[in-house]
Chain A
Amino acid sequence: MLGKLDWSAIPFDQPIPLIAGAVVLVAILAVLTWVVVKGHLPYLWSEWITSVDHKRIGVMYILLASVMLLRGGSDAIMMRIQQAVAYQSQGYLPPEHYNQIFSAHGTIMIFFVAMPFVIGLMNLIVPLQLGVRDVAFPTLNSVGFWLTATGALLVNLSLVVGEFARTGWLAFPPLSELSYSPGVGVDYYAWSLQISGVGTLVAGINLVTTVLKLRTKGMNYLRMPMFCWTTLASNLLIVAAFPILTATLAMLLLDRYLGFHFFTNEAGGNVMMFMNLIWAWGHPEVYILVLPAFGIFSEVVSTFSGKALFGYRSMVLATMAICVISFMVWLHHFFTMGAGPDVNAIFGIASMIIAIPTGVKIYNWLFTMYGGRIRFATPMLWSVGFMVTFIVGGLTGVLLAVPPADFMLHNSMFLVAHFHNVIIGGVLFGAFAGFEYWFPKAFGFRLDERWGKLAFWFTFLGFFITFVPLYIAGMLGMTRRMQHYDVAAWRPWMIVAAIGMAVLTIGVICQIVQIVVSIRNREALRDRTGDPWDGRSLEWATSSPPPVFNFAFNPDVRGEDAYWDMKARAQQQSLERDRPEYQDIEMPRNSPTGFVCAFFATIMGFALIWHIWWMVILGGLGAWATFVVFAWRDHDEYVIPAEEVAAIDRVNLEERRDLVSMAGTV
């Protein structure tokens, strides 16, 4: 009846996950009770859960990412403490638990922190920058978000019901095959990634179509803000790379569930093919994450230097070059597996070549700052911090791209330090910069600068204190994923890294405090004009937060830096007196399709993990029925009358006139 599921799935003998799970459960129940008692449930349901507004979905993506960042961060803290104490002892985490923690840490940080964070920012901002009212597929967008949430839910469920994979974040066979991992851990891993992978693919299709087909009048390709270009490149990579992940995990699941022989040691299966296929996805994935961050830095650096982006066209070219070359370097993740000198040499050279467009970008940002009137607001601090950090990470990356060096450093702590160097220094700093930069756009008030700067400095210093020791430990021969060790020379570095982790944690706490303080002082920090940073692109041309229809009129774009151009012209013409008549606006209706679909996906995923076949069929039928019901509805849009549009728009225009007249006097 319940497949493999019984009471032994709940780890009564392991206090750490049980207590953690109980605390989280109590917290969730408390929040739910509060929501229900306060009567917020109808509001949440109709305004957020069923929302198809790209801005709301973007915010929900970022919220999911932030919550999961805390989860993945606690895993990191536990690992750092374990390695600091586990010198010639077992530490406090037994091996099977430690292995689950590093697997969960990697999986969560990549799939449920970095991915939703950048997808959320793209969702929130790209339609605004393109000057349009919505994304290409609003309802599918909601489906994509909720499927991602399903994946996150399943990963966290494994904390209390069953176990998580002990195989590392990519579940390499043969360890991940049924004979070596008979438990449900790998199944939790694979099914949550399959489900959230569908969500990511949907988001990718949606954003590619939005950028290519929905741009406002006059928004030619070479007038798009840089963030739109990197969004396009990143989502093209999602569309092309995520199917590879889906196929590879499907093969692993077929091996595990139906006794196939893709990656087994027996009957001619080939373990190496898994490494090959998973990294054919895995390397583009790196650029899926970092390209949007590059876009964010371009926007931030240009705005806070008060200059147009230096070398816009070379930036576009570099972005698209990375988009293509990122598909030609995947073997550098397994140089040591013996493909031989010819293959290794070619992929090594390709890996070095991809550093060139990245270098072009760094120079472009530097030259944008050169001669500019730089304001070191928090987003700009993250950007400058990124440039410093990312160059170090990039250089160690080029080092690893040299096959002979890689033979020494493969799977060492040096590698761990390298990819944290680029992912934290690149993606996470970018996400934080974007968060600080666009927060006023999303919520209508700025974030507290003092706490923001504190958060930056603690994170920045904490990062180096944590990861420089890992580089050194790697040089001293320490391999990754060690539950304990007996080498005295590594010990001091592990202790320093643990101290660094504490500093990083203070940085995260500062950010939480920053949000709380800013919400309390929101009236003082209110952004009335919709343009708090003196921005250059169209998202600043509407109010903060934007009305549901984004723009009362689809803007008419005349050049690069569309909004800057408008402001410059508006100073001469005292802002668009000759407004045409306001018109009715049709917007897509909210729909519970995404939520219901994800509900069935959760049931199906859980049932698949525990081999509860009747429930699988039920979930599948439910998901299909949801789509048919959605396809059957007759009214998919509602009308916002012209008077309402006019009323909303005039308020913002008044504020903006004041701004322009003030700007004229400066």
Chain B
Amino acid sequence: MSDQSHAPTDHDLAPGEEEQHSVGTRILGYVVGLALALLLTATSFFIAGTDLVWQPSIPVALIVLAIAQMGVHLVFFLHITTGPDNTNNVLALAFGLLVVFLVVGGTVWIMAHLNANMPPMDQIMRMQ
């Protein structure tokens, strides 16, 4: 197997691997990521507990913040970039996210319709 490792690696990166940087730059990347993540987390917790913002917007805001924070983690901790060396990693991620979206979205959508047409047993009981 190891005779296969002479292939050039400079045009393909493992997931989580960074382009060659000095240690200082790498640490800085993590610090920036941590700061951004903490900021977004704090915002989420603040919004959830406050009545300063319009209440119906809170769920949307929380989800947007969560997605943003996942993005921060992906970029600063998992080093997923859009460079050509990362194509395979990003494509795999995109496929995974598509499936997650289909499963969660599909389930919620289907079950909402099912429940509307045929409520679960205990709801029928309550109606009677």
Contacts and interface: CB of A to CB of B under 8 A. Distances in A.
B103 A586 contact: no
A343 B109 CA distance: 8
A566 B15 CA distance: 35
Given A236-B95, A240-B99, A338-B117, A587 B111 contact: no
B118 A338 contact: yes
Interface in B86-128: 88, 95-96, 98-99, 102-103, 106-107, 109-111, 113-118, 120-122
Interface in A572-626: 583-588
B23 interface: no
B113 A214 contact: no
Interface string A219-263: 000000000000000001000110010000000000000000000
Interface stretch (B1-9, B24-32, B61-69, B73-81): B1-9
A276 B102 CA distance: 12
Contacts of B2: 586, 637
A97 to B, nearest CB: 31
B15 to A, nearest CB: 11
A554 B111 CA distance: 52
A531 interface: no
A244 B107 CA distance: 12
A214 B99 contact: no
A630 B53 CA distance: 56
A212 interface: yes
A337 B3 contact: no
B6 to A, nearest CB: 11
Contact of A276 (B1, B110, B121): B110
A210 to B, nearest CB: 12
Given A214-B4, A583-B3, A328 B102 contact: yes
Contacts of A324: 98
A339 interface: yes
Contacts of B96: 240
B111 A272 contact: yes
Contacts of A170: none
A272 B114 contact: yes
A269 B99 CA distance: 25
A214 to B, nearest CB: 7
A134 B1 contact: yes
A586 B5 CA distance: 11
A196 B47 CA distance: 45
A15 interface: no
A277 interface: yes
A39 interface: no
A132 B111 CA distance: 47
A280 interface: yes
B107 A212 contact: no
A273 B122 contact: no
A284 B14 CA distance: 28
A213 B7 CA distance: 11
B111 A276 contact: yes
A265 B121 contact: yes
Interface residues of A, number: 40
Contacts of B110: 276, 331, 339, 343
Given A236-B95, A324-B98, A338-B117, A273 B111 contact: yes
Interface in A196-215: 212-214
Contacts of A268: 120, 122
Nearest to B7: A217
A270 to B, nearest CB: 6
Given A212-B88, A270-B120, A244 B114 contact: no
A301 B69 CA distance: 50
A74 B111 CA distance: 39
Nearest to A214: B4
B98 A244 contact: no
A586 B3 contact: yes
Interface string A336-347: 011110110000
A464 interface: no
A12 B67 CA distance: 59
Contacts of B121: 265
A302 to B, nearest CB: 28
Contact of B113 (A273, A340, A584): A340
A224 to B, nearest CB: 15
Given A273-B107, A586-B2, A342 B114 contact: no
A133 interface: yes
Contact of A585 (B3, B115, B117, B118): B3
A140 to B, nearest CB: 13
A490 interface: no
Given A585-B3, A586-B2, A637-B2, A339 B113 contact: yes
Given A276-B107, A280-B106, A324-B98, A340 B117 contact: yes
Interface in A304-343: 324, 327-328, 330-331, 337-340, 342-343
Interface in B10-35: none
Given A276-B110, A340-B113, A587 B118 contact: no
A213 B103 CA distance: 28
A637 B88 contact: no
A133 B95 contact: no
Contacts of B99: 240-241, 327
A244 B1 contact: no
Contacts of A133: 1, 4
Interface of B: 1-4, 88, 95-96, 98-99, 102-103, 106-107, 109-111, 113-118, 120-122
Q: Which 10 A-B residue pairings sit nearest by Cβ, starting from the closest?
A: A240-B99, A338-B118, A339-B113, A338-B117, A340-B113, A343-B113, A327-B102, A340-B117, A339-B114, A272-B114
Given A133-B4, A240-B95, A268-B120, 7 more contacts: A270-B115, A276-B106, A276-B114, A277-B107, A280-B102, A280-B107, A588-B1
22 contacts: A133-B1, A133-B4, A213-B88, A240-B95, A241-B99, A244-B103, A270-B120, A272-B114, A276-B110, A277-B107, A280-B102, A327-B98, A327-B102, A328-B102, A328-B106, A331-B106, A339-B113, A340-B113, A342-B113, A343-B110, A343-B113, A637-B1
